[in-house]
Amino acid sequence: MIAHLSGTLLAKHPPTSVVVDVGGVGYDVTIPVTTLYELGEIGDAVRLQIYTHVREEAFQLFGFRTLRERELFTLLISVSGIGPKSAVAMLSGMSADEIVTAIRQNNYARLTSIPGVGRKTAERLVIELRDKMAALSGPAPDEQAEAGGAALAQSEDALREDTLAALLQLGFPKPAAEKAITNSIQEGGDLSVETLLRRSLRQLSKG
């Protein structure tokens, strides 16, 4: 099974797909939406942790920036009613650390703020996964460095523009997206496209 890909970013297919060229072979990989906007530009070097999903009629690759995200994805799809696409959507709407914390703390309100997660699903997540959260890997030093590099400060206008483009590609109306971004910026803290996108998705899911 494929567990890791290291190559060149060949193409982006928003909102959740990329093609990675490894030795002349292009691998189509499904990734969380926020990861799509952290991978750089076409032609850049990329590294992804891979989960290989095999079914009778399909062979699909799911990619993640960290081993922790891949492990959490594997746990999520072990829960009844959550498939790979739903798990990717969850990791698009909330960071791995936030999901882990919400499950550990029985925070149903936090979990149901993720687009597509209802009360029953949140309850299953807590019941089935709470005791397994402690076993998840932490990010490796090089992954931490990459994450830090991706979060380098940008101007507010650039952050707003990039986040808006991502939300529009996901199909949200421009006025609603702009309002969500403004509210997200007002929450303060360290801002990045990833942070704003996650905050905005949570707000739009409530609307």
Is there a single domain that holds both residue 34 and residue 77?
A: no
> Given 91, 110, 141, which residue is the final one in a domain?
141
113 and 157 together in one domain: no
CA distance 64 to 31: 6
Number of domains in the chain: 3
Residues 159 and 116 in one domain: no
> Which of left, alpha, beta for 123 (phi over 0: left; psi -120 to 50: alpha)?
alpha
What's the pLDDT at 9?
95
Mean pLDDT in residue range 58-63? 90
| Residue 50: other Cβ atoms inside 10 A | 19
Residue 148 has pLDDT above 60, yes or no: no
Domain membership of residue 170 (yes or no) is: yes
- Considering the domain architecture, whether residues 72 and 137 belong to the same structural domain is answered as yes
pLDDT in tens, 29-60: 999 987 887 888 899 999 999 999 987 777 89
Residue 180, domain member (yes or no): yes
Same domain assignment for residues 47 and 72:
no
The CATH code of the domain that includes 40 is 2.40.50.140
> Which residue is it, tokens 């797909």?
17
- Same domain, yes or no, for 137 and 71? yes
> Do 55 and 78 share a structural domain?
no
Residue given tokens 């990039």 in the structure block: 162
Residues 6+ apart with CB under 8 A from 183: 199, 200, 203
- Give residue 93's identity as a one-letter amino acid code: G
Residue 207 lies in a domain: no
Query: Is it the case that residue 120 has pLDDT exceeding 90?
Result: yes
Least confident of 47-56, 61-70, 118-127, 128-137: 128-137
DSSP state of 115: T
% of the chain exceeding 90 in pLDDT: 38
Domain endpoint, select from 112, 141, 170:
141
Of 117, 84, 94, 90, whose CA–CA distance to 108 is shortest?
A: 117
pTM higher than 0.85 for the full model? no
Has residue 8 been placed in a domain? yes
Which of 141, 173, 190 terminates a domain? The answer is 141
In a domain, 60, yes or no: yes
Q: Is 40 domain-assigned?
A: yes
Mean pLDDT value across residues 91-119: 88
Residue 12 · residue 46 · CB < 8 Å: no
Q: Which pLDDT value is given to residue 124?
A: 93
122 vs 141 pLDDT, higher one: 122
With a cut of 60, say whether residue 154 has pLDDT above it: no
Does one domain contain both 82 and 135?
A: yes
DSSP type of residue 77: T
Q: For 158-174, how does the pLDDT look when each residue is reduced to its tens digit (9 = 90+)?
A: 788 888 888 887 778 88
Helix ranges (H only) for the chain are 33-36, 67-76, 84-93, 96-104, 108-111, 119-129, 141-150, 156-169, 174-186, 193-206
Looking at the fold, whether 121 and 76 belong to one and the same domain comes out as: yes
Query: Does residue 133 share a domain with residue 90?
Result: yes
At residue 137, the pLDDT reads 65
Let me know if residue 132 belongs to a domain. Answer: yes
Query: Per residue in 7-25, pLDDT tens?
Result: 999 998 877 899 999 999 9
Same domain? 74 vs 103 = yes
Percentage of residues in the chain having pLDDT higher than 70: 90
Three-state SS for 183? Answer: helix
Would you call the peptide bond into 14 cis, given omega within 30 degrees of 0 as the criterion? no
Same domain, 101 and 126: yes
Mean model confidence pLDDT for the chain: 84
At 206, is the secondary structure helix, strand, or coil?
A: helix
Task: Say which CATH number the domain at 76 has.
Answer: 1.10.150.20
pLDDT digits (tens, 9 = 90+) for 166-203: 888 777 888 998 999 998 888 887 778 778 888 888 88
Above 50 in pLDDT, residue 151?
Answer: no
Q: Which structural domain, as residue segments, surrounds residue 106?
A: 67-141
